[in-house]
Amino acid sequence: MLFLCDSLLIHCPQEGQSAGSPMVQHPKSRERFNVLLNNASARHGVVETDKCVFPLRWKNWWVRGILTLAMISFFFLIIYLGPMVLMMIVLCVQIKCFHEIITIGYSVYHSYHLPWFRTLSWYFLLCVNYFFYGETVTDYFFTLVQREEPLRILSKYHRFISFALYLTGFCMFVLSLVKKHYRLQFYMFGWTHVTLLIVVTQSHLIIHNLFEGMIWFIVPISCVICNDIMAYMFGFFFGRTPLIKLSPKKTWEGFIGGFFSTVVFGILVSYRYFVCPVEFNNDSNSFQVDCEPPELFQLQDYALPSVLESLTGWPTVRLYPFQIHSIALSAFASIMGPFGGFFASGFKRAFKIKDFANTIPGHGGIMDRFDCQYLMATFVNVYIASFIRGPNPSKVIQQLLALRPDQQLHIFNSLKAHLTEKGLLPALEEAAA
């Protein structure tokens, strides 16, 4: 096998051939060979073996590639296991990301002697998760909550309990203040809260997206994964022009290649699948993802612009509306998503570290893989709230059923009067007859 390294053709001996090939048998040739080899190693990085000199970038390529395939396989496995398992996986990832960032602060600021620092950090994580996940359970599984007396009490006083838990942690922090560590303790208090804002809040948004329908979880994450892989591949083979100083290995070639690949991928994976939100069925006493697909996942005809019509000869094209939304999602994943990675790169450079951790060989820590995912999750949640989500009749009915009978009767009479005034009630009565 031949490797071109710094304008030098390095020959790997074949089986049965000694390393001292005729190419470098002459003392002067051997000396020149060693000089050029050392220069190449210093500039590009190579791994020396008994038989040949293997470029370090190709070793990283194989390590990253094998582990990427393993992670993608695991991703498909957890999708198969269903939304509740996905929610637990998101929670585990969130805890690990929090641990990685808190550990960096603990090491960088030499917080080894701060009283109760780690205990309080994990306590605040518990408090914030209790608040967010309690809100989510109450919002999406209202029927289940109202059926069980303990859950109904916890739901009714959820915000007060959450505030009381946080206030307890706040008082514990104040009582732990030590005169010679005041400034450092407040540094770490702020560090913990910013970490909670970045990690826990956006993990909560991922859960919200998941409960809107698994497709709002799968497609955005897949788009980010596709962009990451394709940008790396285009940059590896064609990269020449640096993209940003914060991340010298990122190139314009990889950025542009990743963009077009992700847009195409977003369209291909957006066919109707996993479209129903997660709900609790009181009759079957189980969680379900069964529904009549909304208009977003039903084929519709779209008129083509005159230019495209003249080129294709098609006046219209049949698409799922979600495919159009997927273009926006994939465009954001490929254009703005990498800025989550640039932000993480700047953070790591500020503290002179290469990766958040060494959890995944060749990839770094869990946070190194989820820096773009968290930014993408926030965008998807805002996108759903702005352009997709409308009033949910099932949630309105659930809230009505939780009212007292006299309140339900009052709402019924008000609704009946409103429908009669609009002229809709007689039509409904005739249809029923």
* pLDDT for 256: 66
The one-digit pLDDT tens for each residue of the chain (433 residues) are 333 343 333 444 444 444 444 444 445 555 554 554 455 444 444 444 444 444 665 666 666 667 667 767 777 777 777 778 888 889 999 999 999 999 898 888 776 677 788 899 999 999 999 999 888 888 877 777 877 888 888 888 999 999 999 999 999 999 999 888 888 889 999 999 999 999 999 999 999 898 888 888 888 888 887 777 777 776 766 666 666 666 666 665 565 665 565 556 555 554 444 566 666 666 666 666 566 667 777 778 888 888 878 888 888 888 778 778 888 888 888 888 888 888 888 888 888 888 888 887 766 788 888 888 899 999 999 999 898 877 777 778 877 877 888 998 999 889 888 888 888 777 555 555 5
In the numeric block, the tokens 């790997």 are attached to: 12
* pLDDT for 3: 37
Taken in order 148, 152, 155, 158, the sign of the CA dihedral is negative
Q: CA–CA separation, 119 vs 138, rounded Å?
A: 28
268 dihedral zone (left: phi>0; alpha: psi -120 to 50; beta): alpha
* pLDDT for 33: 47
* pLDDT for 424: 79
Q: CA–CA separation, 344 vs 95, rounded Å?
A: 18
Judging by beta carbons within 10 Å of its beta carbon (0-12, 13-18, 19+), is residue 370 exposed, middle or buried?
A: buried
All structural domains of the chain with their residue ranges: 2-57, 82-211, 217-394
Backbone torsions φ then ψ of 50, nearest 5 degrees: -65, -30
**Length, in residues, of the chain:** 433
Taken in order 220, 223, 225, 227, the sign of the CA dihedral is negative
* pLDDT for 15: 42
In this structure, the strands spanning 8-11 and 46-48 are: unpaired
In the numeric block, the tokens 């009714």 are attached to: 156
Whether the model clears a pTM of 0.75, i.e. scores above it, the answer is no
